[in-house]
Structures are given as structure tokens and as C-alpha cells.
């Protein structure tokens, strides 16, 4: 694959020119808006990266407020912090059910994560999805300046660019998909597949997590949308020239490492270490979601305990699984099944002084989590399908250089495209995952160090700043090439 297929707009870490004469702002559009005050804790590294970009350029962070009201106002609620404005809109109950619960999370989410049997398509919910994107576009359009760079995020807002263009927007528009993009034949299961891809053609730049996602998009557009490959990552698609490229999301490696080191002095870290009493700790951190492969992961752990009696009492598995999208029925059902599976494992194998599985349906502060990663001998990241999975990267960055733990990673996580030195598994192979856990436990220190060092070089090269700056550089270049 040619370099410009992997990343357009310069190498990782390339910076956008930002001289005082360059009077342009950044406008970030996402389903949820993160805190813009630096004193407020963001939900993760991605939110921090977007806030840092907005502080550098000045601009607007626009999206859904998270509130449901009837009737919602069409005038965004604004907050300002320095040179950043946040602008949010509420949804009505009907909009929330159709746009968010319905089309976004019961159609696009399962389809993009290769679970077509869970797709529940209805034309009413599609219409609601389109109406919310149009309402959001109408609210943002008057706030835009001619030289703004507009960066739209994720599957909730695919038609947003088309809605802005209809309102006369000529600004460079970029779109980044954080989820996987499905293979062409899978995408065709969606009744409005052609219109969805036509909506992507409104953007000047489309970013994907992996080369496989980019291939799925190109394959579909070439075979079913009559796209013409112009070279350099450019396509002529539905009458417009768009660029499509891979921009793998990274993490702030230095910050994660510093948080993990500092966490060793915290009471949470001491409590955790005291409680495992010298045993090896294995950790998984995932939202409750059928795409995360948690049921299969539990089965693999049960298989290990059943067929490898020596592992009993030697390992403690901590699975942190905060509830997610509780309004979606399929997510409530997976929680019920996980609770039952956890009970069976502990009922079958626990001893009076050892509980094999600690299953927690709660969130933890990011700094505390980094300490938990640092204390863990095995990081278990085995989704059935994932756009990237930053837990895998944060686990690695949290490790001690002199004695790192080992990452067991699904081949279907986007991170596997970068982290080939991990123990790569197929999450559908329960016995194989069990063997990988045992391999990680038994791996000699020298081999663990060698693998960890190689992966850390990749993480440092493709960090969150490199992702952000390379995308924005490519978006500015797309404007110049129009």
C-alpha cells in the first residue's frame, strides 16, 4: 500500500501552519460535547485532544447536550472558555428514540460492528436520524465563518455534511469515523446504503481507523457507486472529489505513563495490590456492549480454570464493565447474561480465600484506571470488532519498563494493525484465548520487555497529537486542492 493510502497530508506529527495571519478557526462537531474548561476532567484522551486543538486554533465545539426536553430549543446553549465556545442542543423524546436509540445505535452500530442479525431498520427512525442532522446543521450554519475548518465525528453525524452543504456551506469539511467501516457486501444489507455513502461524499476528507476500513469504503464506492480513483487517496464520488485515508487514533503516551506511575502512591493502588495477595492480576475494561466479546472472554477464562488446574488460585481477573446505552434493549440483555456468567464462574471455582472473577459494573477515574493497568500482568482486550480500542494502548503505556505486563489483543480490534507484538487472538476461539492468557502468564521477562519496547515505539510515533495534526493538515490540504 502506498504511503498516501495510509495517511494524507504529511507524516505523523505534521503540523498545520498556524501563523497569526492565518485567521481560521476549528469547528468540532460530535454527538456529545466534552468539557471546554481545562479545570474540568474530560472523559478520556480523545476529548482532551479535541479540546487542545480547539485551544490552539480557537473555535466551536458543537453537538448534543445529552438532555431530552419537549419541545427542544433550536437555539444552541452557549458556553465560553477562553477562545473556545461550546454550543449544544437538546433532543426531544421522539428525536432521542429515532436518531440516537433507533437508527444510530440499532442500525448503524450493529452493522458497522459486523452484527447484521441485530440490525432493526425502520424508515421512521431513518427519517428521524436525518431530521436531527438537518436541525443540527441549521443551528450551526449561522455560527460559521468563511475560513473555518469543520471536523465532524462519527456515525451519528454522517449526513451532517450534506445538510450543511445544502445550506450553502463552502468551508472545508472533514469527517472521521471512530467505528469500523463494514465490508461492501455487508454495507449493502442496509436499505439506504447508497444514500449513506452519498452523504459521505459531501466531505472533503474522510478518515478511517485502519487500512481494512479504508479498503471497505473504496471497494463499495468502486463497485456500487461508480467512483473514479484519481490517485493520492482521492476519489471522484457522486460528482465531488473526496480524499479518504487512514488516521489511527492514538493516546497521550507521556501523560498516561505519568498517571500510572503516580497511581502507585495512591490508596486505590495499595488496596488493589493488597487484595490480590501476590497473585497475577488480569484486567479488562470495556463498556457493556455486545461488540466487546465479553461473554466469549468469560468462557475463555472458565475454560482456562477448568482445563488448567494450576491456574486456579494463581490469577485474579478484574473485569470493569460500566453500563452503556441502557436505552437500547440489546445492551440491557447483554448485561443480564454477563451477570449470570460471572456468577457461574465464581460459583464453580471460587475458594474461601480466592475469588477468580471480580466483575464491576461501575466507572473509575482515569488516573485510578491507569494504576490498575500498571498492577496487571495481563491486559485482556478481545472485542469481536472495534474501531481502534484505546484501552489496549493505555494498558501498554501504563506498564513498568523494567517489568511490563503482556497484552492479549483481538485480531479484530483496530489496534491490532499497529500492535503486532501483542499476543494476537481470534475472540471466537475460546480455547485459543485461554491458551493466550496462559502464554502471557508464563512469558519470560526478556520476551515481555522486547515486545513491549517495540509496541511503545509505535505508540509514541502514532500518538494523539500526531493523529490530530495529521488529520487537520490533510483537511487544509484538501481545501487547497479543490
* Positions marked catalytic: 178, 386
**Strand ranges inside 16-117, DSSP E:** 26-32, 59-68, 77-81, 84-91
- Cα distance between residue 345 and residue 340, in whole Å: 9
Residue 475 three-state SS: helix
The C-alpha cell 460528482 sits at: 239
Contact call for residues 87 and 55 (beta carbons, < 8 A): no
Q: Sign of torsion, CA 182 186 188 191?
A: negative
Please give the grid coordinates belonging to residue 330: 440489546
Name residues whose C-beta falls within 8 Å of residue 419's C-beta, 6 or more positions apart in sequence: 392, 393, 396, 407, 409, 455, 458
- Cα distance between residue 150 and residue 63, in whole Å: 13
- Cα distance between residue 51 and residue 37, in whole Å: 9
- To 5 degrees, how large is the angle CA 3–CA 5–CA 420? 75
Number of H helices, E strands in the chain: 18, 16
- Cα distance between residue 425 and residue 410, in whole Å: 5
Amino acid at each position: 500500500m502506498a504511503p498516501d493510502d495510509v495517511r494524507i497530508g504529511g507524516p505523523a506529527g505534521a503540523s498545520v501552519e498556524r501563523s497569526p495571519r492565518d485567521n481560521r478557526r476549528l469547528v468540532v462537531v460530535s454527538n456529545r460535547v466534552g468539557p471546554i474548561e481545562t479545570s474540568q476532567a474530560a472523559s478520556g484522551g480523545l476529548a482532551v485532544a479535541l479540546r487542545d486543538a480547539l485551544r490552539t486554533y480557537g473555535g466551536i465545539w458543537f453537538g448534543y447536550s445529552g438532555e431530552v426536553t419537549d419541545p427542544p430549543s433550536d437555539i444552541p446553549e452557549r458556553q465560553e472558555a477562553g477562545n473556545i465556545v461550546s454550543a449544544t442542543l437538546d433532543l426531544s423524546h421522539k428525536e432521542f428514540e429515532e436518531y440516537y436509540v433507533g437508527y444510530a445505535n440499532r442500525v448503524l452500530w450493529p452493522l458497522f460492528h459486523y452484527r447484521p442479525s441485530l440490525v432493526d431498520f425502520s424508515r421512521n427512525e431513518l427519517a428521524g436520524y436525518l431530521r436531527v442532522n438537518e436541525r443540527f446543521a441549521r443551528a450551526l450554519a449561522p455560527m460559521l465563518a468563511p475560513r473555518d475548518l469543520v471536523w465532524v465525528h462519527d456515525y451519528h453525524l454522517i449526513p451532517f455534511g450534506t445538510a450543511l452543504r445544502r445550506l450553502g456551506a463552502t468551508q472545508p469539511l472533514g469527517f472521521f469515523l471512530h467505528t469500523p467501516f463494514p465490508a461492501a457486501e455487508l454495507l449493502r444489507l442496509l436499505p439506504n446504503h447508497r444514500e449513506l455513502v452519498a452523504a459521505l461524499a459531501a466531505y472533503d476528507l474522510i478518515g478511517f481507523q485502519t487500512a481494512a476500513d479504508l479498503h471497505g469504503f473504496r471497494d463499495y464506492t468502486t463497485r456500487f457507486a461508480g467512483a473514479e480513483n484519481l490517485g493520492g487517496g482521492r476519489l471522484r464520488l457522486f460528482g465531488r472529489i473526496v480524499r479518504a485515508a487512514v488516521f489511527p487514533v492514538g493516546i497521550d503516551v507521556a501523560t498516561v505513563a505519568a498517571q500510572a506511575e503516580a497511581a502507585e502512591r495512591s490508596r486505590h493502588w495499595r488496596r488493589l495490590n493488597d487484595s490480590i495477595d501476590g497473585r497475577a492480576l488480569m484486567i479488562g475494561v470495556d463498556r457493556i456492549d455486545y461488540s466487546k466479546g465479553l461473554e466469549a472472554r468469560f468462557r475463555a477464562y472458565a475454560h482456562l480454570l477448568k482445563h488448567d488446574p494450576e491456574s486456579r488460585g494463581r490469577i485474579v481477573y478484574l473485569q470493569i464493565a460500566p453500563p452503556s446505552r441502557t436505552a437500547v434493549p440489546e445492551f440491557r440483555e447483554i448485561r443480564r447474561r454477563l451477570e449470570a456468567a460471572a456468577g457461574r464462574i465464581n460459583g464453580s471455582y471460587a475458594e474461601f480465600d480466592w475469588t477468580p472473577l471480580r466483575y464491576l459494573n461501575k466507572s473509575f477515574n482515569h488516573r485510578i484506571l491507569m494504576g490498575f493497568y500498571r498492577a496487571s500482568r495481563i491486559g485482556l482486550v478481545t472485542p469481536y470488532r472495534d474501531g481502534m480500542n484505546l484501552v489496549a494502548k493505555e494498558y501498554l503505556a501504563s506498564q513498568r519498563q523494567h517489568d511490563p505486563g503482556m497484552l492479549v489483543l483481538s485480531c479484530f480490534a483496530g489496534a491490532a494493525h499497529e500492535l503486532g507484538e501483542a499476543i494476537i487472538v481470534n475472540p471466537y476461539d475460546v480455547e485459543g484465548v485461554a491458551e493466550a492468557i496462559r502464554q502471557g502468564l508464563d512469558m519470560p521477562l526478556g520476551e515481555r520487555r522486547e515486545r513491549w519496547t517495540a509496541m511503545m515505539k509505535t505508540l509514541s510515533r502514532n500518538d494523539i497529537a500526531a493523529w490530530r495534526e495529521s488529520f487537520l493538515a490533510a483537511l487544509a490540504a484538501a481545501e487547497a486542492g479543490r
